[in-house]
Each structure stands twice: as structure tokens, then as C-alpha cells.
Structure 1
Amino acid sequence: MAESGALVCARPPARRTMRPLLLVAALLELSGASLLPGPLLRAEVPPTRRQRSASLRMGAFALKPTVTLDADVGAAYGKTKIGVLLLNLGGPDDLDAVEPFLYNLFSDPEIITLPSSLGWLNGPIATIISKTRAPTSRE
């Protein structure tokens, strides 16, 4: 059984979903967190290379924070008031405009803020999100 907070895949992810997962893992690694393999499914017989590959894809992955906060820093956050502003950004006029709308939304650096050295990734990330979410959003 996976530890609490771990993401467990019941079956291997589809090939089209692996690229976004790899991109997310790379971004997490660059941001100071890492994606570590958790406990894997164990077979009673030594697995073949193909089974080992499938087992790795089916493994549990947990985020391991690499930054810790001092107690004083946490106390400072407790004293600060935080406000949340919710905005209605509207939406596309018709179903054919869903994908361009999502691309424009997620390519905005104010929506997804990356370090300046990774700013070039805004476009590819927006493309991945718009192409994968548009079919679901059209429904």
C-alpha cells in the first residue's frame, strides 16, 4: 500500500499523458521538489524487462520537499493576513474556440509564472494543457 499523499496509478498511463507527467517532474525538480519512486508492485518471480518497465510505470510516486522552514518563518506567516481575489474571466463564445481560449489563458505569464530562465516553457505548457483539456471542456 502506498504512503498517504502518494499518487498511485492503477494502470500504466496512456502514452499521450506521459509527456505532461515528464514535464511536471522536470519542473518539480527544477523548483526544488523532486518526484521519487515509491514502493513498487512486487512479483513473486523475478520480472522480465517488459514487466519491470510496466512495474515502474505503475509505481507510486510521492513528492519529497527539499526545502524546510524554520519555526520562526512559519510564525511570521501566521501573523500575515492573506487575501484571495476571485475573478470571472469569462469563457469562449463557441466550442471551436475552447482550445485557443485555453492556450491564451495558460500562456499568460501571470497565470503560470516560471523563473526567467524557464520562461520559454510557457508556450509548450500552454499547448499541452490546451490540447489535453479542450476535449473535456467541450463536453
Structure 2
Amino acid sequence: MLAAGGPESTTSAGTPVPVAHYFADLCAVVAMIFRTWPEARPYAGTSFLAAALDTEHASRAAQAQPMLNTAGKRKASKPYTAPPTDSLAAGAVLHIATRLLRAADPYEARELMAPLVHRLRDADRALSVYLRRAAWMSTPMRTAAGDW
């Protein structure tokens, strides 16, 4: 999709979107996966990949912990929205994210996303709202990740 002359559109959440919107969706879903882990654990390709994400999540949670009780605007969600630097964790989380984005139709997308959406809303309301902004998600993904 990133190659010169590549497609102008692809499918995200069961609906055609411009390729740029797909990559925005991918970033948002990766953040959702990290912030709600282990909610997406059943979607991991193997137990080895799930274990890699267990480790990655523990590292991100440790980074976020000191920010939880700071004065002023909290940045506790920042460790969850940063892209992974470890190649194994990156591959594992991208595998899950693309699986979620490949939903056959909007109904399936909403069903696949429901556990993450509910957990994110409960765990980090501010991040939940932030990720559903037009700058972070395509319209089909905002529909799939909308409040229930």
C-alpha cells in the first residue's frame, strides 16, 4: 500500500477508505490494543506473540504509572500511543490490528472491536474520546468504535 503507484483505497472496518485513512486506523487500533491489553490477547496469532505483547504491555504500563498521579494535564496514555520499537512486539500488535481492520463488513468490525471499545472506555475515557477523533480514525472505524 505504501509503494509508488499503489492503491488509492483499501478496506477498513468493512468499508472502502483512502489508504491514508487505513494507516490512521492502524495507529489508533494499535493504541487501543496496548491500552486495553490483555483484552485483545485472544486475537494474537500464537501464544508466543501473545507473550511478547504481555511483556510490551508491562513495559508500557510501568512507563505510564508515574504519570497517573502528576498534577496538571495527565499524559498517562502517551506510552500506549507510541509505536513499538521492538520488532517482535510490532509484528505481533500489527497482526492483531490488521485482523481487526479486515472485518468483512461494518457489523463484524463493530463486533470485533466491542471488547476493546468497552475496556478502553472504562480504563481511559480521555484516550477513548481522543482516538475517535476524525484525525485518528476513519469514519467506518469511528462507527465501529463508537460508544454503545
Regarding TM over 0.5, the answer is no
Larger Rg: 1
**TM-score interval for Structure 1 and Structure 2 normalised by the shorter chain:** under 0.3
- Normalising by structure 2, we get a TM-score of 0.24
Higher relative contact order (CA 8 A, sep 6+): 2
